[in-house]
Structure formats: C-alpha cells, structure tokens
C-alpha cells in the first residue's frame, strides 16, 4: 500500500520529488496511471506513514497536489482509492 | 581431459575461450577451465548455465578454481538465455534535454518495467546506468521486484569499477561486455537506452 500524489503538470511533480527528497522522505516516481488522468504525466509514491510529512513539505514549497490516492491491489488488479 | 588454463587472463578472456571450446565439444563432454578469481568463475557459470550446460567448480588447495562445464545433450544449448525482451541502460537519465526531468523519467521507466507481463528477460546496466543498480539509487525497490519476477539484472564490472561502485552493487550480478554483447545479440527484442 502506498500513497500517490498527482500534480497539475510534470514540473510540479519533479519539483515535489526534489522537495520530498530534501526533506528526507523516500519518494518514488511513476507514470500517471490512465485511470487517474489523461496525458503522460508523472506522479509520486510515498509510504502511507510519510503522508502527513509529505503534504507539509509540499505545502511549504507552495506545491499543491492535484490528487491524493491510496494505491493497493484488489483481486490481482492495482486500484487507486481517493483520499 | 583438456584443461583450459585461464589463470592471469583478463576478463572476459576466460569466457571467450571457454565458449570456443564448448562449440567444439561433443554432447556430454566436459570442458574444464582453470581460473584464479571468483568473478571469472561467476562469469563462466552465468555463461554455461545460460546456455543450458551443467556447471560445477572446486577451489583447489593452491587457491585456483577449476570449473567444469558439461555440454548439454544433443549438442545444442538446452535453452537460450537471450530470448525475450532485453533492456540495456547506459545512463541514469532518460533523454538528454533536461537532466532533472530525465532522471525522473528514468525512475518512471523502471517502475513501468515492473508492470510488464512477462517482465524483461534481462536488464543490463553499463556506463552511467550502473548508478541505478547501486546503493543510493531510487530504482532499487523496483529492480528488486523485477529480479523477484525472474528478470536477470546485470551491471558492467568495468563500469562499476570506473565509478568506484563495485562494493555498492545492490541488485543483480556483475557482468562483462562479452556477456552484454552476447545477451543483446540474442535478444528477441531489445530496448537500448
């Protein structure tokens, strides 16, 4: 289970990754799943335990995520549940 | 029994000479190779098992390693380790216009490989690509996941040495250019980044 941040554009996703890494959060990049939006954007994954710290770091950097989801697997399929 | 004495020979000479000898050997025959370091033994083992031959080795009292490769029945390799998708990665950045974007895209690319079914047969790292398979890389979890699904992950030993990363390899095995070229040449499909 992971928390997934989506962003308004790739620049915010990359800037967000940079801020989270600087803040000591173990963040991973992945392509934006088609079920979460059109286009070929990037989104960020963090451990659920790092969610609050990540939100704080992003807000402090003036980056507002477009969406926030919990990524899990149900019946062998990856599902994204809005948070 | 003929023994190929490859002591003192630089990588990848033992593998090259052993492969020549295997090409001339009959099914069931054993080609023996004497080497003086464990990396050479590992490379021989990868080559032999990749071609479907039986591999064994013993460390002798003088510290040298005697490897034995028993040629697969029928005179043909039991399997082709190069079949399937091969992904060769020579840098830690995908594309060249912007390094920060490229590094994020590479992480996204490697994550996407974990979603492929079947997963790549081989993922090869060379030159700056070895930063992805060594300690501190953000791609390690995804590469470990791929290894768990059966992908063979291998990093160029000369490149690890050049970047002083040999002791920091965190996933997969050390390989050499002979193996990289051989794997790419036998690939069913090749993605070369």
Q: Specify the pairing of strand B122-125 against strand B85-89.
A: parallel
Predicted confidence (pLDDT) at residue B180 exceeds the cutoff of 80: yes
Neighbour count for residue A81 (Cβ, 10 Å): 11
User: Can you tell me the distance from the alpha carbon of B76 to that of B52, in angstroms, rounded to the nearest whole number?
Assistant: 9
Choose between B44 and A38: higher pLDDT.
B44
pLDDT in tens, A43-67: 999 999 999 999 999 999 999 999 9
Q: Which class would CATH give A2-82?
A: alpha beta
pLDDT in tens, B182-193: 889 888 899 999
Chain B neighbors of A30, CB-CB under 8 A: 107-108, 111-112
User: Can you tell me the distance from the alpha carbon of B190 to that of B12, in angstroms, rounded to the nearest whole number?
Assistant: 23
End-to-end CA distance of chain A: 13
Start-end of H helices in B38-166: 38-50, 99-113, 140-148, 157-162
Of A18, A27, A31, the CB nearest to B108: A31
Which ipTM value was assigned to this complex?
0.70
Which H or E run contains A53?
Answer: helix A51-60
User: Can you tell me the distance from the alpha carbon of B17 to that of B7, in angstroms, rounded to the nearest whole number?
Assistant: 12
Q: Sorting pLDDT into bands at 50, 70 and 90, what band is B135?
A: very high
Determine contact: A55 vs chain B, CB below 8 A: no
Question: Phi and psi (nearest 5°) for B139?
Answer: -95, 0
Chain B neighbors of A6, CB-CB under 8 A: none
Q: Sorting pLDDT into bands at 50, 70 and 90, what band is B175?
A: confident
Given the candidates 1.10.8.60, 3.30.70.260, 3.30.110.40, 3.20.10.10, the CATH classification of the domain at B3-75 is 3.30.110.40
Helices B99-113 & B140-148, crossing angle to 10 degrees? 20
User: What secondary structure letter does DSSP report for B44?
Assistant: H
Query: How far B173 CA lies from chain A's nearest CA (Å)?
Result: 24
- Enumerate residues 6+ apart whose C-beta is below 8 A from A41: A6, A7, A9, A10, A13, A31, A32
Q: Specify the pairing of strand A2-6 against strand A67-74.
A: antiparallel
> Residue ranges per domain, chain B?
3-75, 85-192
In terms of Cα–Cα distance, which of B174, B93, B87 is closest to B122?
B87
In the prediction, which pLDDT does A36 show?
84
Chain B neighbors of A28, CB-CB under 8 A: 107, 111, 138, 141-142
Cβ contact, residue pair B104, A17, below 8 Å = yes
> Residue ranges per domain, chain A?
2-82
Determine contact: A25 vs chain B, CB below 8 A: no
pLDDT in tens, B100-126: 999 999 999 999 999 888 999 999 999
CATH level 3 topology of B85-192: Hypothetical Protein Ychn; Chain: A, (3.40.1260)
């Amino acid at each position: 289970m992971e928390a997934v941040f989506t962003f308004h554009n790739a620049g915010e996703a990359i800037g967000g990754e940079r801020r989270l890494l600087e803040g000591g959060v173990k963040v991973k990049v992945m392509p934006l799943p088609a079920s979460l939006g059109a286009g070929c954007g990037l989104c960020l994954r963090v451990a659920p335990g790092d969610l609050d710290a990540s939100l704080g770091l992003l807000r402090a950097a003036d980056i507002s995520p477009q969406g926030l989801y919990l990524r899990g697997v149900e019946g062998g399929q990856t599902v994204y549940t809005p948070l | 029994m003929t023994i190929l004495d490859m002591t003192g020979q630089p990588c990848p000479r033992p593998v090259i000479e052993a492969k020549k000898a295997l090409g001339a050997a009959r099914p069931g025959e054993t080609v023996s190779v004497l080497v003086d370091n464990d990396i050479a033994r590992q490379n021989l083992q990868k080559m032999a098992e990749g071609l479907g031959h039986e591999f064994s080795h013993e460390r002798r009292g003088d510290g040298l390693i005697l490897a034995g490769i028993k040629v697969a029945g029928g005179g043909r390799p039991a399997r082709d380790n190069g079949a399937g998708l091969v992904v060769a990665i020579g840098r830690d950045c995908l594309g060249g216009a912007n390094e920060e974007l490229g590094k994020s895209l590479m992480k996204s690319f490697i994550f996407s490989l974990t979603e492929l079914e079947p997963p790549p047969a081989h993922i090869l790292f060379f030159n700056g690509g070895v930063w992805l398979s060594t300690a501190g890389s953000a791609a390690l979890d995804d590469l470990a996941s791929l290894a768990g699904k059966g992908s063979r992950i291998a990093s160029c030993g000369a490149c690890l040495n050049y970047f002083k990363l040999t002791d920091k390899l965190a996933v997969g095995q050390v390989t050499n250019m002979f193996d990289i070229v051989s794997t790419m040449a036998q690939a069913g499909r090749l993605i070369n980044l």
